[in-house]
Amino acid sequence: MANRPFIVGNWKMNGTRAMLAEARAIDRGAARHPGVRVAVAPPFTLIQSLAENAEAMAIGGQDCHAAASGAFTGDVSAAMLADAGATYTILGHSERRAMHAETDAQVRAKAEAALAAGLEVIVCVGETEAQRDAGQAEAVVCAQLDGSLPVGEGVAARVTVAYEPVWAIGTGRVPSVGDVGAIHRAIRARLETIYGPDGAGISILYGGSVNAGNAAELLAADEVGGALVGGASLQAESFLAIVLAAAGPGEE
């Protein structure tokens, strides 16, 4: 892959100020591996604190609203994320799609808003277990890409795609390396269809029960340019072990 490996921690609805020490430890560890791009998406309440103190890692949001402002109680706009110090946001995570009934069109609208606010976006796609068992995994993922990704001149440089099979998130189940590579190759082909030559440079992350024990094998799969990490990103030790795996042989 031409791009630096990109390892992103998604803290989900976890973390109070007591976790700032873990964040500082992750940042120090990231500084030892400049060949790996490291980022953490904490809950909204911690973005500013992390952004003010991070030196080597990027800080992002876990979602944003499509509108710049307005009467949307409990929501956060992309401009607010940027103002707090975030440089990117995760969009279309399967938990948002399932629990909040987010559609592809809504994810695209959020991505367009985030780009307009100067953020990068990580757009998530992935199939359910029933869809995989029915042989529909590739078709489902490609349809999500078609409907969710923002388009336009220069957009590809600020887009990352994360493939997260829904049935693997938080379950400890992981698809085979061959299956991961097959879906990532299909995603790459679709990105090149959508963005032309620029699609070849977009990082494609794998997410779904990534941990220190399986990271090296998963990161070596075809077209895997990094990882979107959930539970294992909540402790510096386990998250930095994944960063180390991305750094490759010879790193300590």
Confidence of residue 1 (pLDDT cuts 50, 70, 90): very low
At 144 the pLDDT is: 98
pLDDT at 67 over 80: yes
C-alpha span between 188 and 131 (Å, rounded): 20
At 169 the pLDDT is: 82
pLDDT at 221 over 50: yes
What percent of the chain is predicted at pLDDT more than 70?
98
What is the rounded average pLDDT of the residues 186-208? 97
208 or 107: which leads in pLDDT = 107
pLDDT at 138 over 70: yes
pLDDT in tens, 15-50: 999 999 999 999 999 999 999 999 999 999 999 999
At 2 the pLDDT is: 52
At 250 the pLDDT is: 59
Mean residue pLDDT across the chain: 95
pLDDT at 64 over 50: yes
C-alpha span between 8 and 82 (Å, rounded): 18
19 or 1: which leads in pLDDT = 19
CA torsion angle for 146, 148, 151, 154 (degrees, to 10)?
Answer: -120
Confidence of residue 14 (pLDDT cuts 50, 70, 90): very high
Catalytic residues: 93, 164
C-alpha span between 99 and 104 (Å, rounded): 14
What is the rounded average pLDDT of the residues 155-183? 92
